[in-house]
Structure 1
């Protein structure tokens, strides 16, 4: 293994750029800084060509294309990914020609076998492809990933979910995608077996260095330092414990009453939850999701084993592999119960109502259409009023 790391308190040396014409494929996995990188790359999309680099995707995150490539289902109630999504991305990458390009989606980590990996690599660059894997400590990933699963309809509580993932073999239910993504050693092995270890780079993300991942991407792509900048994204923040528990209990009611998945996608995930995230920032008094000590220790032990196996693959590792099994510094438990504030509940309810009232704005240019969260409360009330009046007239 080629490892490029220094002491815990020293900066990581800037890596050499990848060869010109490389097709860099960032496969995540989830909760390792993917959203921030995708946002920064997309924001700098028009500046990249001056430095010989292209971001070929027409959206920040080509999620549907990656899901289609891995034959994975969409998030609950979302647009069903098709071969058309994947073909479109492949053509966008091909149009780059011999220039360097970068594609990022954490859903590529869902490719479950080498045959799927080989097809993805073959269509996105073949011998020119270089795989980038970003990793964070497993003990930090687990609470973030659980609340994300809850946002996709999971009804199981955190500790029960942890027991299933860490103590109940074969560790597949209720979220079989978790270890497919976060069995980091096997993830690296799958992709290295196809492209060769010399064309895989693993970046160990150091949460103490907030801009470290941006600077690493710049170095690998041969970009000027500080070209990539974080893009504020409140919609990507993690939920507090109270928010997650509110949503988890809603999931029970939703499933128990057999409501359609499309309704969940529109009213709950993209309505109530999205608006709540945008409108409300957690306060220091909000109780965060806390992982019990037994699970932290089990996750750290599993991560240490993974780091050893990754070392044996011969891939290049940037950063300090010891961070992967680091145990997060314990915080004193928050006082009081995890109760959701009335204003947060109100914003969630408003988000659901607004999503229900949302109607497409008719414009000649589809790019001018607005989402419900870009529409003022006054306009939304008008929409609701007009709809109610129409219904009353019909009756």
Structure 2
């Protein structure tokens, strides 16, 4: 590759969780070829590989639980980054935001001689809190909305950086990377408020990457579904009925999260989850503190820090607890959906079995010289099954 005098860069999109990361990743993966033509390589190649990289970077890899391929994820990433042909590369994995200082250093070292830029997408706290609670429930947790908020408030007031508060604390996340990177190489992309044009977040993200958003096709991948209050409460109660074995990530991810939460409950219409009025003051004060900390640090802000202001529509002046009839109605609708899907699957299996059985019977009769109208024992067995 000829030396153009321009340093080769790598952008590390760290999250935060629930700030449009799945949407952005979907669009980028859908347009990997277009991005490569513009000099931007996506690394690692897929979401699974990016997840494995995060596991190793954050010391979360467990050989008894995680795929063996994850063991060499960091070395593979470093080699792929070195060999990538473009002048820019992008890593996007939202759980990297929780990396601690030694883990930050580990990922920076893996980037070799690339000029590292960090990208953090941030969202106003009042909208992010309900999404964060849903994320916990979709991971098999059972904590109530009120208890969840009380725990986060306790973490923040005590200065703790535990999960999940770290994913709601952009100044702390950014400060860990600012120990190694100049402020102009740390980019804060604000998530536009409700009612903004749908492609504005993508446009802001592409501005950081030096990509023309007009060349990108919309993602065919579905975005994460949002649950209503009654549906979230139902999921919480169902999780409480599951054993610890059934709430393990490898099991619950397919059944509880992607099937029950997304395909069943996520298709229902429910009341939006709002922040209770009794934590409004805390929420507004923390959001203002976070915006001011980002401003004072001198990071490159794409968008406006006004987007981090908590809007009135995010708060519930009444009791946010869903009424029991609403939870019951959600449960009945969910059971109806599950039974419908199971019934349709059973019909498809039976139809396929009947066709296969009928074909086998006709072949036997032709091979044995019998008439096609003669019934064979296997045909009767198929009818009885």
The structure 2 residue matched to 1:316, chosen from 277, 289, 300, is 300
Instruction: List alignment gaps of at least 5 residues for structure 1.
Output: 1-18, 355-374, 387-395
In 2, are the aligned partners of 1:297 and 1:327 still within 8 Å (CA)? no
In 2, are the aligned partners of 1:20 and 1:100 still within 8 Å (CA)? no
Indicate whether 1:119 and 2:106 are aligned. yes
Q: Distance in 2 between matches of 1:304 and 1:33?
A: 21
Q: Which has the higher helix share?
A: 2
1:151 aligns with: 138
Normalising by structure 2, what TM-score? 0.76
| Greater C-alpha Rg | 2
Return the structure number with greater relative CO, CA threshold 8 A, min gap 6: 1
Q: CA deviation at 1:164?
A: 1.4
Q: Distance in 1 between matches of 2:89 and 2:74?
A: 17
**Alignment of structure 1 residues 145-224 onto 2, 5 Å:** 145-167=132-154, 170=158, 176-207=162-193, 208-224=196-212
In 1, are the aligned partners of 2:229 and 2:273 still within 8 Å (CA)? yes
CA RMSD in angstroms comes to: 3.3
Q: CA deviation at 1:330?
A: 5.1
Deviates most, 62-71 or 297-306 = 62-71
Indicate whether 1:140 and 2:127 are aligned. yes
Q: CA deviation at 1:95?
A: 2.1
Q: CA deviation at 1:131?
A: 0.6
Partner secondary structure for residue 90 of structure 2 = strand
**Alignment of structure 1 residues 1-395 onto 2, 5 Å:** 21-60=8-47, 62-72=50-60, 82-97=70-85, 99-112=87-100, 114-167=101-154, 170=158, 176-207=162-193, 208-234=196-222, 236-255=224-243, 259=246, 261=248, 262-276=250-264, 281-283=267-269, 286-329=270-313, 337-339=325-327, 340=330, 342-348=332-338, 378-379=347-348
Instruction: List alignment gaps of at least 5 residues for structure 2.
Output: 1-5, 357-385
Q: CA deviation at 1:163?
A: 1.1
Distance 1:289 1:28, change over 3 A: same
Distance 1:150 1:341, change over 3 A: closer
Distance 1:122 1:48, change over 3 A: same
Normalising by structure 1, what TM-score? 0.74
Q: CA deviation at 1:70?
A: 1.4
Q: What per-residue deviation string (whole Å, max 9, x for no partner) do you get for residues 153-181 of structure 1? A: 21110011101111465476xx9312222
Q: What per-residue deviation string (whole Å, max 9, x for no partner) do you get for residues 319-352 of structure 1? A: 221221322425887996533063333335677x
Q: What per-residue deviation string (whole Å, max 9, x for no partner) do you get for residues 2-37 of structure 1? A: xxxxxxxxxxxxxxxxx6632111111101111111
Deviates most, 59-68 or 20-29 = 59-68
Distance 1:242 1:382, change over 3 A: farther
